[in-house]
Amino acid sequence: MSTALIIEQLLNGLQFGVMLFLMAAGLTLIFGVMGLINLAHGSFYMIGAFACAAVAAATGSFWIGLAASLAAAAAAGTLVEVAVIRRLYDRDHLDQVLATFALILIFSEATRWLFGSFPLYLDIPPVLAGAVALPGGAHYQLYRLAIIGIGVLVAVGLYYLISRTRLGMRIRAGESDREMIAALGVDIGTLYTMVFALGAALAGLAGALVGALQSVQVGMGEPVLILAFVVIVIGGIGSIKGALVGAVLVGLTDTLGRFLLPKLFTVFLGPADGATTGAALASMLIYIVMALILAFRPKGLFPATA
């Protein structure tokens, strides 16, 4: 095992982590800050990817596709908030679970209806193709570096929005007591629609950016949903910093686990059995880490309020 490989894997872990953060960013807003259980987050992610793929194919430009993904996801978000979520604020939290579960079914099938059953083509934009050389013989893809950059930007932007602006304070106030913040003269309804749409747009952005690396297909959002929840919960609900740290932790754990555990078990069990046993453990690893963290820090790494 060369040092270059280890460095590269560490970078991969970091990159995967930031990518996870990007995927979780919208959910951080909707779930973490606004306190809405939104299972349809993955649907916004999927909508973003499909919008980007379809528009990029039609126009030949990834960037127009990216803009379309933001617009489409934001529109879907607005629709969902106004038509569904808004009616559920004064209900049991569990009603949100059922409603957004139903939305997953609707969005998935509607997407298949519109775009057909086959995965779509979406590639990274040519300007970001290729790799940059890093010291130590490793090189790293430009596009993935760009994702890291955007992820960090989104993190900083969200942090600023939530913690430093009056808008952020009002959102958080709305999470704990909607009625009271309204009684103080804040139009929390419209505010929540906007923020929900922003969260959806972020999910759509992630869908488009990550979609270029993956398969743009119906159902692509479901694994993302679970991972995004994991990341936010590990970090501590409501904390942007926590979500970022949680994401990187998950990214590193997963990548290094996949890389090292099979090697470790191969030593004891031989190549085939070692590889499968190691891989089995690796696939459970992030959940093991999550369970451990929550067992010792029941409110995540960075509890938003004490």
Partner 1 sequence: EPVKVGMITTLSGGGAGLGVDARDGFMLALKLAGDTEIEVVTEDDAMKPELAVQIADKMIQSDQVDLLTGIIWSNLAMAVVPNAVAQGKFYLSPNAGPSPLAGAKCHENYFNVAYQNDNFHEAMGNYAQNEGIKKMFILAPNYPAGTDSLNGFKRYYKGELVGEVYTKLGQTDYAAEIAQIRASGADSVFFFLPGGMGIAFVKQYAQSGVGIPLMGPGFSFSQDVLGAIGDAAIGAKNSASWSKDLDNEANKTFVEAFQKEYNRLPSVYAAQAYDTANLIVSASKKASVKDADAFRAALKEAQFDSVRGKFKFNTNNHPIQDLYVREVVKEGDVLTNKIVGTAFTDHGDAYAEQCKM
Partner 2 sequence: MTLLQVSGLESFYGASQALFGVDFSVGQSEVVALMGRNGMGKTTAINSVLGLIRPRGGGVRFIGRDIAGMQSYRIARLGIGLVPEGRRCFPNLTVRENLVAAARQGPWTLTRINSLFPRLEERQDQYAHSLSGGEQQMLAIGRALMTNPQLLILDEATEGLAPVIRQDIWAAIRRLKADGQSILVVDKTLAELLPVADRCFVLEKGRTVFSGKPDELTPELQDRYLGV
Partner 3 sequence: MSRERAINLLLAALLLAMPLAALALGELFYITLATRMAILALAAVGLNFALGLGGLVSFGHAAFFGIGGYVAGILSSHAFNQTPMFSWPFEFFGSDQMPTLWLAAMLISALVALPIGAISLRTAGVYFIMITLAFAQMIYYFAISWPAYGGEDGLSIVVRNSFPGVNTAVPLTFFLVSYVLLLAALALFALVRDSRFGAALQAGRQNETRLAAVGIAPFRIRLAAFTISAAITGLAGALLADLNRFVSPSMLSWQMSGELIVLIILGGTGRLFGPVAGAMLFVLFEFVLGGLTERWQFFLGLILLGVVLFARGGLIGVLAGKARHG
| Sites of contact with partner 2 (CB under 8 A) | 166, 169-170, 172-173, 175-177, 179-189, 238, 304-306
- Which does residue 61 bind out of partner 1, partner 3, partner 2, none, counting CB within 5 to 8 angstroms by kind? none
Asked if 144 is part of the footprint of partner 1 (rule: CB under 8 A), the reply reads yes
Q: Cα separation of 262 and 256, whole Å?
A: 10
The residues, any chain, with a CB within 8 Å of residue 146's CB and separated by 6 or more, are 128
88 binds partner 3 (CB under 8 A): yes
Structure tokens at 232: 């936010």
Under the criterion CB under 8 A, does residue 298 sit at the interface with partner 3?
Answer: yes
Does 16 contact partner 1 by CB under 8 A?
A: yes
**Judged by CB under 8 A, does residue 276 bind partner 1?**
yes
For residue 12, the partner it binds in partner 3, partner 2, partner 1, none, with Cβ less than 5 to 8 A by kind, is partner 1
- How far apart are the C-alpha atoms of 62 and 53, rounded to whole Å? 8
Q: Is 28 in the site for partner 1 (CB under 8 A)?
A: no
Amino acid at 163: S
Tell me the CA end-to-end span of the chain in Å, nearest whole number: 44
Give the C-alpha separation, 126 to 243, whole Å.
31
Question: Could you give the 3-state DSSP secondary structure of residue 116?
Answer: coil
Based on CB atoms, which residue is closest to partner 1, 63 or 121? 121
Q: Which residue has the tokens 């779930």?
A: 31
Site string for partner 1, 61-90 (x = CB under 8 A): ------------------------------
Nearer to partner 1, 165 or 215 (CB): 215
Q: Considering only CA atoms, which of 71, 84, 87 is closest in space to residue 39?
A: 84
* 120 strand-pairing partners: 216
How many whole angstroms separate alpha carbon 140 and alpha carbon 121? 23
Q: Does 180 interact with partner 3 (rule: CB under 8 A)?
A: no
With CB under 5 to 8 Å by kind, the binding choice for 118 among partner 3, partner 2, partner 1, none is partner 1
Pairwise CA distance, residues 224 & 227, whole Å: 5
Contact partner at residue 90 from partner 1, partner 2, partner 3, none, CB < 5 to 8 Å by partner kind: none
CA–CA dist 27, 34 (Å, integer): 9
Q: Give the 3-state secondary structure of 70-103.
A: HHHHHHHHHHHHHHCHHHHCCCCHHHHHHHHHHH
Q: Which partner from the list partner 2, partner 3, partner 1, none does 215 bind, CB cut-off 5 to 8 Å by kind?
A: partner 1
Site string for partner 3, 240-279 (x = CB under 8 A): ------------------------------------x--x
Contact with partner 3 (CB under 8 A) among 7, 64, 82, 84 = 84
Answer yes or no whether residue 302 interacts with partner 3 by CB under 8 A: no
* Distance, CA of 285 to CA of 253 (rounded, Å): 7
Residue 153 binding target from partner 1, partner 2, partner 3, none, CB below 5 to 8 Å by type: none
Residue 165 contact, options partner 1, partner 3, partner 2, none, Cβ 5-8 Å cut-off depending on partner type: none
Tell me the one-letter amino acid at 208. A
